[in-house]
Chain A
């Protein structure tokens, strides 16, 4: 008995040792291949983040470098006690929640259409759905602005049957302005979510669907019990990417309202302090707080969804 165990140990130790060597060499190769990219990424992301944090500790105006002085966390105190920050935070969260929620539902529907479309139609359908995503955000923002402008737009006249006045000023009040901004964002980025969800749908094993069908599950039951649980990782990735993107919304607001009429968002606030006011210290502090918000969103998503992303790659 003892002999057998020893034999087993001896025989099993050898492949494990070999596997360890293999994984070590794979890891080495991995670092060798990804190392330069990782170093470049550190250089272009970590360095500016650290630099921004460093600058945020100073009272520093670009046109007055001689009077630059260390002020510690004063800039953060100024920002967090100012209602302007919290107003912009509220608007940013509102735009993020509304756009991401609508995009998720619409994107999922589009992904289902793409999956179930006839094979011959799929490439055409995919291209058609992806067109808005190919449009540059600034161009899309201008297009939506022109559409809703009371002088050059067509929306007011198109919807006159619904009682819309021809001189309705969509950008003149917070509610309607945010509505148009959200609409532009949803139109532009729903294809992105649908593409990610399409990849997730493709990963749902067909055998599970067949088994559920055999068991008499309805379409909705299959969706809830088979499809969605099996694409949890894809949904999380889609939601995470889009939330981070939506939270940093800038172009549409810049083009449509320039932050007027209660549409100021956090990115615009950072832009105004840094670029318009040239207050590098204060602007850097706003940017750092924006970055911290984004990191918190990431952490919340990863904890909330309880998904190991490495599993999503099938490892």
Chain B
């Protein structure tokens, strides 16, 4: 018996599709498009500013190179994980990468960053705020290019703090704002979620009190790292965190509140104070333009320097932002560094600040009229950046941050002293590979 010929059609069709797919794959492997070398820039998610700068620098390169962007995950810890896995596998597609500063020592120590060509260091640090240079360096050497520098301010609602008796044109302490909020029956929004934001807050409190989490920064051997978590500034930081978390001034769901939920708290008037990054300004003005918050809310926003831990010491606000690294397996490291100079130019960083709300690492950007018109708090941001201190610089930052988050969370369970001891023991145990995290 013969099967009707039509029964064979699906098989023939499948075979045809397979052959065509293979041919297409082979064609794809044959080689890239002709033209200038393409530099891939791994960017953190933003409002399209980095893609626009990539386009501008491609145009400015005059055919020397082309920059393509590839977006990393949203969380900085996830960005690190993706980049580390690729770099450990010698991925040559990573030419330029947007790096969160705390992870730079780890990348530098692992040899994942291509060395800066002579002369580049001097050019890319000219007119750059000191905290950004410190954050872009490891063991005193510049290993990445400062791009934009972030810092946290104390944001407040003018109408809610008006009769509190606080002079917010002068530095205030955490104790003052917590006590004032409790007396007025309002809230102080800070990041209590077990995430990197908790580490940012804790580090800023300790640095503002004159202490440090790692007392011998720059030590590459994890077994020789020394911690200052039992020192008085760290114990005082724990006291402030507990005081806020257990007071009526804590926002609801304090132990799960992050930057976004806190910005909502200030926006809707639930909180009178908040420590947060400058993105909250773009967020509230954008919401007002869209009509999702009343138009009188943005003018009610006030800003000041990050609160002090001690009345006799200026605060050390958090430092964040993004620096640019060049992958060690990049086929075009010189071109990539050339591109980073273009990306971090005064003009492009001012554009990025103005359009995306990410503050520039260059001092000159803060006198740009377009920036000042859109970000009236720019001078305070610049002042904060000059006072800012980075998080502990160590190749084992993930362990230090993770250990601190585990022991200092939830903030309402912190017991100043014993919690510090627990954090110190856990982090040292983890660094010695004797404990799980």
A and B are interacting partners: yes
Which of A63, A151, A260, A275 is B110 in contact with, Cβ under 8 Å? A63
Please, which residues of chain B bring their CB within 8 A of the CB of A151? 253, 261, 264
| B433:A272 contact, CB within 8 angstroms | no
Smallest beta-carbon distance A270→chain B, Å: 10
A100 part of interface (Cβ distance < 8 Å): no
Please report the C-alpha to C-alpha distance between residue A63 and residue B113 in the assembled complex, in whole angstroms.
12
Given A63-B109, A151-B261, A169-B252, the answer on whether A282 and B433 have CB atoms closer than 8 Å is: yes
Please report the C-alpha to C-alpha distance between residue A150 and residue B250 in the assembled complex, in whole angstroms.
14
Smallest beta-carbon distance A273→chain B, Å: 7
A64 part of interface (Cβ distance < 8 Å): yes
How many residues of A sit at the interface, in one of the four size bands? Answer: 20 to 34
Q: 0/1 per residue, A204-221, Cβ < 8 Å to B?
A: 000000000000000000
Please report the C-alpha to C-alpha distance between residue A259 and residue B239 in the assembled complex, in whole angstroms.
25
Please, which residues of chain B bring their CB within 8 A of the CB of A172? 253-256, 410
Please report the C-alpha to C-alpha distance between residue A22 and residue B252 in the assembled complex, in whole angstroms.
73
B259 part of interface (Cβ distance < 8 Å): no
CB within 8 Å of A: which B384-437 residues: 395, 398-399, 402, 409-410, 430, 433-437
| A59:B433 contact, CB within 8 angstroms | yes
Please, which residues of chain B bring their CB within 8 A of the CB of A64? 109-110
Please report the C-alpha to C-alpha distance between residue A85 and residue B253 in the assembled complex, in whole angstroms.
27
Please, which residues of chain A bring their CB within 8 A of the CB of B409? 260-261
Please, which residues of chain B bring their CB within 8 A of the CB of A28? none
B88 part of interface (Cβ distance < 8 Å): yes
Please, which residues of chain B bring their CB within 8 A of the CB of A258? 194-195
Please report the C-alpha to C-alpha distance between residue A260 and residue B258 in the assembled complex, in whole angstroms.
14
Please report the C-alpha to C-alpha distance between residue A151 and residue B252 in the assembled complex, in whole angstroms.
9
Given A151-B261, A169-B253, A277-B402, the answer on whether A62 and B436 have CB atoms closer than 8 Å is: no
Residue of B255, B399, B435, B436 most packed against chain A (CB within 10 A): B436
A228 part of interface (Cβ distance < 8 Å): no
Residue of B81, B109, B253, B255 most packed against chain A (CB within 10 A): B253
Given A63-B110, A172-B253, the answer on whether A273 and B194 have CB atoms closer than 8 Å is: no
What is the chain B residue whose CB lies nearest that of A171? B256
| A167:B253 contact, CB within 8 angstroms | yes
Please report the C-alpha to C-alpha distance between residue A235 and residue B214 in the assembled complex, in whole angstroms.
55
A82 part of interface (Cβ distance < 8 Å): yes
Residue of B256, B410, B435 most packed against chain A (CB within 10 A): B256
B77 part of interface (Cβ distance < 8 Å): yes
B116 part of interface (Cβ distance < 8 Å): no
Please, which residues of chain B bring their CB within 8 A of the CB of A273? 436-437
Smallest beta-carbon distance B270→chain A, Å: 10
| B194:A275 contact, CB within 8 angstroms | no
Please, which residues of chain B bring their CB within 8 A of the CB of A103? none
| A63:B395 contact, CB within 8 angstroms | yes
CB within 8 Å of B: which A131-151 residues: 149-151
B341 part of interface (Cβ distance < 8 Å): no
| B436:A282 contact, CB within 8 angstroms | yes
B84 part of interface (Cβ distance < 8 Å): yes
Please, which residues of chain B bring their CB within 8 A of the CB of A65? 88
Please, which residues of chain A bring their CB within 8 A of the CB of B254? 169, 172
Please, which residues of chain A bring their CB within 8 A of the CB of B81? 275-276
Which of B85, B255, B256, B398 is A277 in contact with, Cβ under 8 Å? B398
A269 part of interface (Cβ distance < 8 Å): yes
Please, which residues of chain B bring their CB within 8 A of the CB of A27? none
Please, which residues of chain A bring their CB within 8 A of the CB of B194? 258-261
Q: 0/1 per residue, B184-197, Cβ < 8 Å to A?
A: 00000000011100
B106 part of interface (Cβ distance < 8 Å): yes
| A79:B436 contact, CB within 8 angstroms | yes
Please, which residues of chain B bring their CB within 8 A of the CB of A312? none
| A277:B399 contact, CB within 8 angstroms | yes
Please report the C-alpha to C-alpha distance between residue A272 and residue B436 in the assembled complex, in whole angstroms.
9
| B402:A272 contact, CB within 8 angstroms | yes
A278 part of interface (Cβ distance < 8 Å): yes
What is the chain A residue whose CB lies nearest that of B87? A63
| A167:B398 contact, CB within 8 angstroms | no
| B84:A261 contact, CB within 8 angstroms | no
Which of B256, B395, B433, B436 is A85 in contact with, Cβ under 8 Å? B436
Which of B84, B252, B399, B434 is A167 in contact with, Cβ under 8 Å? B252
Given contacts A269-B436, A276-B398, A279-B433, 11 further A-B contacts (CB under 8 A): A63-B109, A84-B436, A167-B252, A167-B253, A169-B252, A172-B253, A172-B254, A258-B194, A272-B402, A275-B81, A282-B436
The 9 residue pairs across chains A and B that have the minimum distance between CB atoms: A167-B252, A260-B194, A169-B253, A63-B110, A84-B436, A150-B253, A82-B436, A172-B255, A171-B256
Point out residues on B near A: beta carbons under 8 Å. Answer: 77, 81, 84-85, 88, 106, 109-110, 112, 193-195, 252-256, 261, 264, 395, 398-399, 402, 409-410, 430, 433-437
> What are 25 sample pairs from A and B whose C-beta atoms fall under 8 A apart?
A62-B85, A63-B88, A63-B106, A65-B88, A78-B433, A79-B436, A82-B436, A149-B253, A169-B254, A169-B255, A169-B256, A172-B253, A172-B255, A172-B256, A259-B194, A260-B194, A260-B409, A261-B255, A272-B402, A273-B437, A276-B398, A276-B402, A277-B402, A277-B430, A278-B84
